[in-house]
Structure 1
Amino acid sequence: MDNQSCVNIVTEWDIVAARQLGRNVAKELGFGTVDQARITTAISELARNIYLYAGQGQLCIEQIEEYGKRGLKIIAIDSGPGIPDIRKVMEDGFSTSGGLGAGLPGVKRLMDEFNIQSAAGEGTDIRAVKWLR
Structure 2
Amino acid sequence: MNFPGAEESDVEEVPIVDSGDMVKARQKVRTSAQLHRLSLVDQTKLVTAASELARNTLVYGGGGVMRASVLTRSGKRGIKIQFVDSGPGIPDLDLALTDGWTSGQGMGLGLSGARRLVDDFDVVSAPGAGTTVTVVKWTR
Task: Report the TM range for the smaller structure's normalisation.
Answer: over 0.9
Query: Counterparts in 2 of 1:3-22, with a 5 A limit?
Result: 3-22=10-29
Instruction: Specify which of 113, 118, 126 is matched with residue 125 of structure 2.
Output: 118
Q: What SS class does the counterpart of residue 43 from structure 1 fall into?
A: helix
- Alpha-carbon deviation of 1:123? 0.3
Q: Which has the higher helix share?
A: 1
Instruction: Give, in angstroms, the shift of residue 94 of structure 1.
Output: 0.7
Number of equivalenced pairs: 133
C-alpha deviation, 1:105, in angstroms: 0.7
Deviation at 1:60, TM superposition (A): 1.2
CA RMSD, Structure 1 to Structure 2 (Å): 0.9
- Name which of 116, 120, 124 aligns with 1:109: 116
- 1:1-133 equivalences under 5 Å are 1-133=8-140
Question: What percentage of residue pairs aligned between the two structures are identical?
Answer: 44
8 A Cα contact 2:62 2:86, kept in partner: no
Question: What 5-or-longer segments of structure 1 have no aligned partner?
Answer: none
Task: Structure 2 unaligned segments of length 5 or more: list them.
Answer: 1-7
User: Which residue identity is paired with 1:8?
Assistant: P
3-state DSSP class of the match of 2:20?
helix
Q: Please say which of residues 9-18 and 33-42 is displaced more in the overlay.
A: 33-42
TM-score (norm 2): 0.92
- Counterpart CA distance in 2 for 1:99 and 1:82 is 17
Q: Deviation above 4 Å: which 4+ runs of structure 1? A: none
- After TM superposition, give the deviation of residue 66 of structure 1 in Å: 1.4
- Rounded Cα–Cα distance in structure 2 between residues aligned with 1:100 and 1:84: 19
How far apart, CA to CA, are the structure 2 residues paired with 1:6 and 1:36?
19
- Per-residue deviation, 1:90: 0.5
Amino acid at match of 1:72: I
CA distance in 2, matches of 1:93, 1:79: 25
Distance 2:97 2:63 in 1: 22
How far does the alpha carbon of each residue in 1:6-28 deviate from its partner, in whole angstroms, 9 at most, with x for none? 11000000000000000000000
Task: Report the secondary structure of 1:2's partner residue.
Answer: strand
* Amino acid of the structure 1 residue aligned with 2:124: Q
**Paired residue type of 2:74:** Y
Q: TM-score, normalised by structure 1?
A: 0.97
